[in-house]
Each structure stands twice: as structure tokens, then as C-alpha cells.
Amino acid sequence: MDLLRSLPIGIYVEKPVSWLHRLDPRVKLAWLMSLILSPLLASAYWRIFLVLFLVLVTVWAGIPWRLQKTQLSWLVFFLSIVFVITLFAGDGFNLSYQPRLPEEFSPPPTASNYQYVLYQIGQFSITRRSLDLAIRITTLIFTLLYSSNLYLLTTAPEKIAAGIEEILSPLKRLKLPINEIILTLILALRFIPLVLEEVQNLVRSVGTRAINWEYLGFRRGLQVWLIVAGRLLENILLRAEQIAIAMEVRGFTSTREHQVKWHELRLKMKDIIALFLLGVFWLARVWVGGG
């Protein structure tokens, strides 16, 4: 089991270099926030469009399928369970309506194909509202997780830090610790692969010892995994201490005295085109995706 390959969460993929890699990180961050915020109060058709849009962008960018196969499989499996549970859950409209007029004075029923209950299976029923809720919840979770992961896959941590620092630079006038926040962010992004590597090494070390779990039973097996968890925490703290010592040895004292230029940001023609398309995206959201 290779966690660094099967779960590429927060890991930047350098090759193959696609057009998504070449976009300015500020432009990609604007698109990411738009993809996260646009589903709010939007119709189900717009949310489905966002899912198809993300899939088409991934195919167009040429992101290798092997990098997302395992993660997408688990995501689709989880969303399928959420969809089914929401679909058969109660929709909240369990009121029974009665006519105001007596039956002999009621107008004759009009011919209509409208049905609120779409399907009935015993005590479970699929209604129009439960179907709409299932679509809204699953598409929202997919858009949030998949767009964030796609952004991390195609953007280097240094570029992410540079883009956020450029956007938040006006807040420095309010004496907010922007440099400290950016440094914390870049260290956190760099620390994710280290944590996955430690988990991978510990799981492999346990697997190579050929432990008979049936003989140990539940109690002793739980004690073994608690020891492994303690060792994992100890290794992570050791890695953090090594990073701190390395920064201290190199003379790093504060972010104010040691300004680090993570990346030189320049808007190019493709970035301007992407910003123009972002404006078209929001116009389509206002005119078509209204809730």
C-alpha cells in the first residue's frame, strides 16, 4: 500500500505539466472560490453542471487517471451512500391535507401528470423534495472536495502561498500577521506528505512482522494499534522539531527580517482569458443557476 500514490491529498503533481499548472495561482484561487460559492442557493441543474464541468476540466487538462483513481473511487462510493440515504429519508412534508368544501361541492379533479411521490417501496418513498435534496447534497460535497483537490494537484505550495500573500497584502496596513500566516500555510502544505510517509512506514512495519491478529484478539490488537499511534505521534513531533532546528540553524528568526519570495507572479494572456471566462461563469450563474 503506497499512500503517497493512492491518496494524493494535498500533494502537488509536477508532471505532466498541463495548462492548469501554468495558470496564475491567484486566478486559480478565484476559480476555486467561485466553484465553492456558486452552488449556494443554486438550482439542482447548476450543481449537476458544476460536476460535469469539473470532470471536463480534468479530462481537458490531461490529469493522469492513476493519480485520482483510488480517491475518486472512495469519493463516489461515499457519495452513493449519502445519495441513497437522503433519497429514501423523510422529506419533512408529512402533513395530510383535507379539502375545505364537502365532497359534493368540490370541483371535479383536473387531468394532470404531476406526482409528488415518485416511487413507493413499502414504507419508503421517493418524493420530489427528497430527490432534490439528494442531488443538492451529493453535488455540493463532490464540488467542494474535488475542486479543492484539483487545485492542490496542479498548484505548487510555494505558488499557493505567493498567491494568497499577494491577495492578503492590503491587510498588512491593519497590522495583521500576514507573513506569519503564509509561513504557517506553506509549512502545513509541506508537512502533509511527511505525515503520509510516516503512516505508510508504520503500516508496512506492522505488516512485515506477520502478527496473528486472531490469536491476539480484539483487546491486544487494540493495544498494538495504540502503540503504533503513539509511535506515529512521536515521529511527527520529531519531524517538526527537525524542521524547526533546520530553520534556526539557517538564521531564520522572524518573517519580518527574512522575507522569502516564494514565486514571482505575473498575469499573462491565458490568465486574462481565464478571468474573462470567470466573469462569463458568474453571468451564467445569475441567469441560469438561480435557486
For the question of whether the overall pTM of this predicted structure is more than 0.85, the answer is no
In this prediction, residue 278 carries a pLDDT of: 94
Write out the H or E segment, with its range, that includes residue 136. Answer: helix 128-153
In this prediction, residue 1 carries a pLDDT of: 46
Cβ contacts of 200 within 8 Å, gap of 6 or more: 1, 2, 3, 4
pLDDT tens sequence for the chain (291 residues): 455 555 555 567 777 888 998 999 999 999 999 999 999 888 888 999 999 999 999 888 888 777 777 778 888 899 999 998 888 876 655 555 455 656 555 556 555 566 667 777 777 777 878 888 888 899 999 999 999 988 988 888 888 888 888 888 888 788 787 777 777 777 777 777 788 788 888 888 887 877 777 777 778 888 888 888 888 888 888 888 888 888 777 777 666 665 556 566 788 899 999 999 999 999 999 888 765
- Yes or no: say if 154 and 62 are a contact pair by the CB < 8 Å rule: no
Domains in the chain: boundaries: 1-92+116-156+266-291
Q: Three cell numbers at 33?
A: 472560490
Q: Which residue has the cell 475542486?
A: 147
DSSP letters along 173-217, please? GGT--HHHHHHHHHHHHHHHHHHHHHHHHHHHHHHTTT--HHHHH
The phi and psi torsions of 125 (rounded to 5 degrees) equal: -140, 150
With H, G, I as helix, E, B as strand and everything else as coil, classify residue 115. coil
